[in-house]
Structure 1
Amino acid sequence: MIWPSDKIGSKTSSFGLAHQFVLAAAITIAVSMGLLALAISQRIETSMMQTAAEEGALFMEVFLGPAAQELATSRTLSPESVKKLDELLEGRLGERMRLIKIWLPDATLAYSTNKETIGAKFPSLPIAAAFEGKVSGEFDYLDEVDNATERHLHVPLIEIHAPLFRAGTKEIIAVGEVYNDGRRLAADLHSIRLFSVGIVGAVTAPMMLILFLIVRRATNMVRDYQTSLMQNVAEAKSLASQNDKLRRIADDARLEAANSNENLLARIGRDLHDGPIQLVSLLILKLTDPTTKRRAEAGHRDPPDPAIETLTTRILSELRSISTGLVLPELEGLTPNEILTLAVRNHEEATGTSVSSQIGALPADLALPLTTCLYRIVQEGLNNAFHHGKGKGQRVEVWADKRSIVIAVSDSGPGVVADLAGRRSRAGLGIAGLRNRVEALKGTFEFISQPEIGTQIRAKLPVASSSNKNVN
């Protein structure tokens, strides 16, 4: 059986667990008390009826037995015997006994205080059982055909059947039937039933009360736990929402930091190009001016020191290299495939080495932070391959599906030392910077280097189109 349950988190319920228990327990106890009272009353009624039957059998043996001896040889009683039997009900005995009958073995009525039914046959199970030697008693409300004239009494009677024996033997010659007033016995049985119900109620009521208190306490505990659980769930949802908001803020901050860093590097590169590089270029022009050389040869000034020119050229080369690594080429208007091809070509022109590239078709609308990250991975990976792998077996591989882009830059050099991942390269951002850049885009980054086998940089980035996210 499925009962209505309390609503989780609610303080009240129209039909809670305690109410369910009260209803179920009340029905169970009521049925149990009724059955117990019925069983007890029936047991007592059987015992009392058997006692009444035995008393009636003794009465019939004393008062009906002598008159019934004639039936051993005759089917009728003499007028004298009938008169004696009639006189039994005229005294005080008649106040208790209402009807007397004597039956022959073939269920013929040989005697009755109601003379109208004498000689008729009324077979019945109690008569048959009495001829077998059994004494029986039961309540009778005069519903049988042979009691039609006595129904006006309207009182419960105790009907008793007992065998009548031939004097001095165990031979049954007839069956006596008497009807005693059963009102007193019926009243006693009714009192016993009420008393039984009272006892059962007195015993079960405290038990029911204790169980009800236990169930109510358990219900309150469950309700409190449910309320606490709902509060914890609400707090967990709130914390999860806050964490998600903080995560998005952190992601935006990382992207903004990467974009700001890119702008900073570009500005530094422009400043280096427009400032020191221009000045050093002017210095070289002055030092290598033919007029200056002629004047020096004419004795006006000593010839320029070759070491100064060499040192100045080296400074200029270093500044150009730094500026080239910091300044991001103009990528606007190029597709992702063209951007990666540009990174490979710039490296080949700068180093004079060859790079094997296999770049699959990439989405044309990738977000700017993603294309910038791909360019930097190729740039940094090839720079490391040139400086640490001697430019041997330089290779760039890129492939994509609907959800992600995988890029790998490798070489066949001698491998690198373990702390390269935490160092900044000569012209780039370093492996640590690449890792941060990739993780800011929610990607994964791997740096694998094995002695005498080579080094590989591998990154897997989720696809983000410019229509979804574009950080300037």
Structure 2
Amino acid sequence: MKANIRSWNDLSLAAQFAVAGGVIMILSMVLIGRIVAARIEDGVVRNTALATSQYMDSIISPLSQDMADVDTLPPGAHRALDEIFSNTPLGERVVSFKLWTPEGRVVHATDPIIVGETFQITDNLAAAVKGEVRADFEDLSDEEDQGENALGLPLLEIYSPVREVWSGKVIGVAEFYEVATQLKRDLAAAKRNSWMAVALTFMSIGGILYLIVLRGSRIIDRQRDALTAQLSELGALSAHNMTLRRRVQQAAARTSAMNDQALRRIGADLHDGPAQLLSFAALRLDNLRGQVKDTSELDGVERAVKDAIREVRSISKGLSLPDIDSRSAEQIVRGVAETHAARTGSPVDVTCELPPDTSLSQAVKICLYRFVQEGLNNAWRYAGGTGQEVRLSCADGILSLAVRDRGPGMVAGPGGLPEGGGDFSGIGLRGLRDRVESLGGTLTAGNRKDGPGAVISMELDMRSS
């Protein structure tokens, strides 16, 4: 069935119209041809019957007037009717004759066997009793038509009402069977001509419509070919753009990883360089304390040096990254949450729902680390660490990560990002958004729908990674 539908759809519009329209036109032609032929036959038979009926009425009516008083004919009338249809040109033309009473009784007939018999009143006989001329061509199916049917000739059966001369009342029905050999030829020719006319008309209409549809089909085919070519070009362009997009994302991911590595080196250099030198300076200050009488200035310098050491170590710690290459996404998220909880004393509820075969690139792992780190720092700073939650999941190739709290929430700023969000350890929402979008993901920030608090979330399409 599907193959047939596919084959039909593969045809051009002109071919579909030719098949469907041809079937419909043939059926319509047959129907209309039958109707026209039937109307022609009915009209020709009716007109012939009326002409013959008027002629026969002029002969039979004067001999049948006694039927107005009795349902029989006098012997003279019987003899006259027999002479009319015996060995005369009219007898050669009218091969059988019956004279009926309105009750269905035969009072005279060319076949004397049925005279006096009563038959069932047919529709034609009933209509003639009511004053209507009826006729059938080659339809001898009635009970009293057995003799005529045996002749094997094309006969026109005519029922003509016989009226009383002075009152016009129908007193009987004259039924006669006229040999209709010529009528049969005429009807055959008329039907043949009508069929030819109908066929020629439908073929002309179908041909003209087919030419119109063929022209439109060719235009549509040319436009479809052009659209297909354009679609193919757009597909190639889209594939090329997708390749470029992936290259840009990969380059951005590599750049992000390189930046984090550079920050890690800077943090290490700060820890191993200036921090060590400041520590050495602090030791030297302790040694100079016994050599200086007024230590007030020395105390101020010592406090400044120790503050600088703490600041350098804090910056160094913030810039450094743990060894995340060998860790899974869940281990990274839980590690950041545990470190944050240990540092701030505020608990973090962590939920991870990842398939066991989830594999992430280094850039994505770094993004997860920084996202959770900055999100928790922001929640601790502006929400006091109340109700901190981290949710990590992956469904249908989409990696989702959200950090929530139960603080006062956020207020949208002019740029669409929340006000009061602060800088997430020097990165901030805009920097975090740039990091996520560089990997082809999206970042959203706003207030929770299930109560007070703020939420920041990100999504990454792992299928295009």
Relative distance call for 1:312 and 1:154 in structure 2 (3 A) is same
Unaligned 5+ runs, structure 1: 298-302, 347-354, 449-455
TM-superposed CA distance for 1:175, in Å, is 5.8
Equivalent position of 2:396 in the other structure: none
TM-superposed CA distance for 1:50, in Å, is 1.7
Asked whether the 8 Å contact 1:438–1:459 carries over to 2, the reply is no
Equivalent position of 1:349 in the other structure: none
- The code of the aligned residue for 2:20 comes to Q
1:88-145 per-residue CA deviation (whole Å, 9 max, x = no partner) reads 6434444434345556788344463x5x537552546467776776655444677767
Alignment of 1:58-77 (within 5 A): 58-61=58-61, 76-77=74-75
Relative distance call for 1:39 and 1:306 in structure 2 (3 A) is same
Alignment of 1:68-467 (within 5 A): 76-78=74-76, 82=79, 85-86=82-83, 89-100=86-97, 107-110=105-108, 112=110, 117=113, 119-121=115-117, 123=119, 125=121, 136-139=134-137, 153-162=151-160, 176-217=174-215, 249-279=247-277, 281-282=279-280, 314=304, 317-318=307-308, 321-327=311-317, 328=319, 331=322, 336-337=333-334, 339-343=336-340, 355=344, 357-363=346-352, 368-369=365-366, 370-378=368-376, 385=381, 394-395=384-385, 397-401=387-391, 403=393, 405-407=401-403, 428-437=426-435, 442=441, 444=443, 446=445, 458-461=455-458
Across the aligned residues of Structure 1 and Structure 2, the Cα RMSD in angstroms comes to: 5.5
**Match status 1:30 vs 2:30:** yes
Relative distance call for 1:15 and 1:274 in structure 2 (3 A) is same
TM-superposed CA distance for 1:270, in Å, is 2.2
- The code of the aligned residue for 1:96 comes to R
**Structure 2-normalised TM-score?**
0.65
Q: For the residues of structure 1 that align with 2:164 and 2:374, how far apart are their CA atoms?
A: 132
Q: For the residues of structure 2 that align with 1:182 and 1:162, how far apart are their CA atoms?
A: 17
Q: Identity of counterpart residues, as a percentage?
A: 19
TM-superposed CA distance for 1:325, in Å, is 1.0
- The code of the aligned residue for 1:57 comes to D
**Match status 1:50 vs 2:50:** yes
Q: For the residues of structure 2 that align with 1:242 and 1:459, how far apart are their CA atoms?
A: 33
Relative distance call for 1:187 and 1:283 in structure 2 (3 A) is same
Asked whether the 8 Å contact 1:409–1:457 carries over to 2, the reply is yes
Relative distance call for 1:421 and 1:267 in structure 2 (3 A) is farther
Q: For the residues of structure 2 that align with 1:431 and 1:16, how far apart are their CA atoms?
A: 61
**Structure 1-normalised TM-score?**
0.64
SS at match of 1:203: helix
Q: For the residues of structure 1 that align with 2:387 and 2:36, how far apart are their CA atoms?
A: 90
Asked whether the 8 Å contact 2:443–2:458 carries over to 1, the reply is yes
1:282-334 per-residue CA deviation (whole Å, 9 max, x = no partner) reads 566667755x997xx9xxxxx99997996697467436523531344674598
Asked whether the 8 Å contact 1:77–1:111 carries over to 2, the reply is no
SS at match of 1:98: strand
TM-superposed CA distance for 1:183, in Å, is 1.5
Unaligned 5+ runs, structure 2: 394-399, 448-452
- The code of the aligned residue for 1:157 comes to L
SS at match of 1:262: helix
Q: For the residues of structure 2 that align with 1:357 and 1:193, how far apart are their CA atoms?
A: 103
**Number of residues paired by the alignment?**
424
Relative distance call for 1:326 and 1:153 in structure 2 (3 A) is same
SS at match of 1:16: helix
SS at match of 1:459: strand
1:25-53 per-residue CA deviation (whole Å, 9 max, x = no partner) reads 22112211221221232123222212221
Q: For the residues of structure 2 that align with 1:143 and 1:418, how far apart are their CA atoms?
A: 99
Moved more, 320-329 or 158-167: 158-167
TM-superposed CA distance for 1:264, in Å, is 0.8
Moved more, 264-273 or 116-125: 116-125
Q: For the residues of structure 2 that align with 1:340 and 1:211, how far apart are their CA atoms?
A: 77
Q: For the residues of structure 2 that align with 1:408 and 1:169, how far apart are their CA atoms?
A: 113
Asked whether the 8 Å contact 1:408–1:459 carries over to 2, the reply is yes
